[in-house]
Amino acid sequence: MAGLMKPSVLRTGGMILPAVLFIGVFFLIPLALMGYVSVQERGEFGSVAWGTFTLEAYERFFFERDFLDDSLVLNADYAQIFVRTFLLSIGTTVLCLVIAFPTALYMAMQPPATRNWLIFLVTIPFWTNLLVRNYAWILLLRNGGLIDGWFGALGLSSGPLNLLYTDFSLAVGLTYSFLPFMVLPIYASLEKLDFRLVEAAYDLGADKWRALRHVIVPFAMPGIAAGCVLVFIPCLGSYVTPELLGGGKRLMIGSLIQNQFGSSRNWPFGSALSFALLALVLVTMMLYLLRYRSAPQVAK
């Protein structure tokens, strides 16, 4: 028995070895390097003072150095950017869920041929580059744009709406960009639902809302949770949408990290910001894994 198991173990190890090497070379090693840079001092002219050790990059989340006596004073600017990013990500996730759940439910209730066409329509945005899609929203939301013109023509506004470069435009752009990532997992869960269970709930006296709450939603919860993770995590690190639709006035973590590695030339602080973002992502993934390890069961 042991002799038979050994070749099987070797074959399994050989199959996973390329993936382990790929992850180690292109993920773990850069991650370790970024962690090392985050505890270094910033050198002259934007370089890294290698061989030093300091937590100054992490201190900058909440403090800054006073120019007069070099003491630490409270500075909540970066914390506000983190809070704004978190709130916008939560808001985008909620908006995507509100739109995606009825959409996915409608898709799951259609005949197979119609489902295929609806999936096709949901995936059409992926055919266009995200940059192009965000520029399209600039044309729609800017003063004098299509939406502004419609409101003026209908007499609903007497002046420019000033929709662009606001939290509203960010929420619209993020929701539009990540909505398919919410629809498809929920649809994948609801597609497996035997709708005779819903009919049985009706036979037992349940109305539409009770059937939805006790049968459909519990069965769709793994898809809902997966969709929330797939929307929330990319929103945290989103860069293109805040830059274009926020106009640099509504900084998010992704834009802040790019500024530190780019124009500010502060690589230690940029690495520390990246680690803080990674911590938020890991906490989200851990909560998802702890909650949805097992298969879903319909609520009683």
Q: Which long-range contacts (CB under 8 A, 24 or more apart) does 29-37 make?
A: 31/278, 34/271, 34/274, 34/275, 35/271, 35/275, 37/267, 37/268, 37/271
Q: How many CB atoms lie within 10 A of CB 216?
A: 22
Measured in whole angstroms, how far is the alpha carbon of residue 281 from the centre of its chain? 9
The predicted model gives 31-42 an average pLDDT of 86
CA distance 209 to 176: 28
Please report the pLDDT score of residue 181 as a whole number. 93
Confidence of residue 297 (pLDDT cuts 50, 70, 90): very low
Please report the pLDDT score of residue 156 as a whole number. 76
Side-chain half-sphere exposure of 276, counting CA atoms within 13 A: 24
Residues making up the chain, counted from first to last: 300
The predicted model gives 45-52 an average pLDDT of 78
Residue 264 has pLDDT above 50, yes or no: yes
Task: Check which CATH number belongs to the domain holding 131 and give it.
Answer: 1.10.3720.10
Q: Is residue 124 part of a domain?
A: yes
Q: Is residue 5 part of a domain?
A: no
Q: Percent of the chain having pLDDT more than 90?
A: 13
Please report the pLDDT score of residue 56 as a whole number. 83
Q: Percent of the chain having pLDDT more than 70?
A: 92
At residue 73, φ and ψ (nearest 5 deg) are -125, 150
Please report the pLDDT score of residue 299 as a whole number. 43
Q: Is residue 249 part of a domain?
A: yes
pLDDT tens profile 50-106: 878 888 888 888 877 766 666 667 777 888 888 888 888 999 999 999 999 999 999
The predicted model gives 187-200 an average pLDDT of 85
pLDDT tens profile 169-184: 888 999 999 999 999 9
Please report the pLDDT score of residue 182 as a whole number. 94
pLDDT tens profile 249-258: 777 888 888 8
The predicted model gives 265-274 an average pLDDT of 88
pLDDT tens profile 225-239: 889 989 998 898 888
The predicted model gives 117-127 an average pLDDT of 88
Report the domain count for the chain.
1
Q: Is residue 189 part of a domain?
A: yes
pLDDT tens profile 6-21: 567 677 777 888 888 8
At residue 53, φ and ψ (nearest 5 deg) are -140, 125
What DSSP line would sit under the chain, residue for residue?
Answer: -HHHHHHHHHHHHHHHHHHHHHHIIIIIHHHHHHHHHHTSEE-GGG-EETT----HHHHTTTEEE-TTT--EEE--HHHHHHHHHHHHHHHHHHHHHHHHHHHHHHHHTS-HHHHHHHHHHHHGGGGS-HHHHHHHHHHHHSTTSHHHHHHHHTTS-SS----TTSHHHHHHHHHHHHHHHHHHHHHHHHTT--THHHHHHHHTT--HHHHIIIIIHHHHHHHHHHHHHHHHHHHHT--HHHHHHSTTSS--HHHHHHHHHTTS--HHHHHHHHHHHHHHHHHHHHHHHHHSSSPP----
What separation in angstroms does the CA of 157 have from each of 74, 139, 163, 168, 245? 43, 18, 12, 17, 22
Q: Is residue 194 part of a domain?
A: yes
Entry pTM:
0.81
**Domain range for 226:** 52-291
Confidence of residue 295 (pLDDT cuts 50, 70, 90): very low
